[in-house]
Amino acid sequence: MSTGAPGRSPAEIRRDIDVKRRQLGTSVVALRGKVNELTDWRRQVEEHKQQLIIGAAAAGFLIGARAMLRRRRNR
């Protein structure tokens, strides 16, 4: 009595498992590469330098404006 998929021999099942195992290995390697790429902060800074400069300037402007408003209220 066979407990596998109907009409498939054990050799076919093993072959399918080996194929899936190789595909999974390839997927894991690709995922690891993508994770490394996305978490590399130096690369992210280099790729988004202009946006970071604009964001830093805007944050500096807002902090400075808030500080000036507080000074005026305290006088």
Q: What is the pLDDT of residue 50?
A: 97
Task: Give the pLDDT mean for 6-16.
Answer: 91
pTM: 0.51
pLDDT digits (tens, 9 = 90+) for 36-61: 999 999 999 999 999 999 999 999 99
Please report where in the chains the tokens 């604009």 appear, as a residue.
54
DSSP per position, 13-70: HHHHHHHHHHHHHHHHHHHHHHHHHHH-HHHHHHHTHHHHHHHHHHHHHHHHHHHHHH
Delimit the domains of the chain by residue range.
8-39, 49-75
